[in-house]
Amino acid sequence: MEINSKIEKAKKGDQIAFTFLLDYFWNEVYGFMLKRTENETTAEDITIETFSKAFDKIASYNPEFQFNTWLIAIAKNVYIDLLRKKKTNLFIEITDTEDQQAYNIADTTPSAEDALIKEQNLSRLLQCIKELKPHYQEVIHLRYFQEMTYQEIALKIDEPLSNVKVKLLRAKKLLAEIIERNR
């Protein structure tokens, strides 16, 4: 079957096989998450994270199970992790008096040191981005600095939406490796 050969090629690092698998299974994973989250952005983020984790761990995929079942299991785990994070970020009710006391104590205005650290971190990040190939730099810039949607990026660079998703996935992974290497 063609899927199994694509999986084997993807295990060997074949980018075309990765793209094929992403295209082939995207709607199934996205649809599954959309039903659960009832939010297109969240479903899309979870789906992207799912494929990222799946491609990182593809060597551990057991062909005795269906590939789509494996992807759905990963998606469920990503979703559970997201729910756990949301639970730990819940706010505690405080009274107006407590709020005023906290406001009087906490000055959230960034200090000169905070501004310098932020500027240095941005500068370091931009240096790391410059180490990426130009087409990866472009999608990172469009997505995170110009805050374009995946669809807007696809139109801007005249490429299919699935290619944009794969490029961003790959660019983020490479950027993380560069950042880690430069620490």
Q: Spell out the residues 6+ positions from residue 126 whose beta carbon is closer than 8 angstroms to its own.
A: none
- H or E stretch at 12: none
pTM for this model (two decimals): 0.54
State residue 106's pLDDT score: 45
The Cα 1–Cα 6 span in angstroms is 9
Rounded percentage of the chain residues whose pLDDT exceeds 70: 81
**Residue 155 — very low, low, confident or very high, per pLDDT cuts 50/70/90?**
very high
DSSP 88-150: HTPPPP--HHHHHHHHHH---SPPHHHHHHHHHHHHHHHHHHHTS-HHHHHHHIIIIIS---H
Per residue in 38-48, pLDDT tens?
A: 888 888 889 98
Mean pLDDT of 154-162: 87
**Torsion over CA: 160, 163, 168, 171 (sign):** negative
pLDDT for residue 92 is more than 70: no
Residue type, 134: P
State residue 156's pLDDT score: 92
Structure tokens at 116: 């310098």
State residue 110's pLDDT score: 58
State residue 74's pLDDT score: 92
pLDDT for residue 104 is more than 70: no
Give the chain's mean pLDDT: 81
Rounded percentage of the chain residues whose pLDDT exceeds 90: 16
Please compute Rg for the chain using Cα positions: 20
Report helix, strand or coil for 64.
coil
**Torsion over CA: 124, 177, 45, 80 (sign):** negative
The Cα 152–Cα 142 span in angstroms is 9
Per residue in 116-152, pLDDT tens?
A: 666 677 778 888 889 988 988 899 889 888 888 888 9
Cα dihedral 66, 71, 77, 82 in deg (nearest 10):
-160
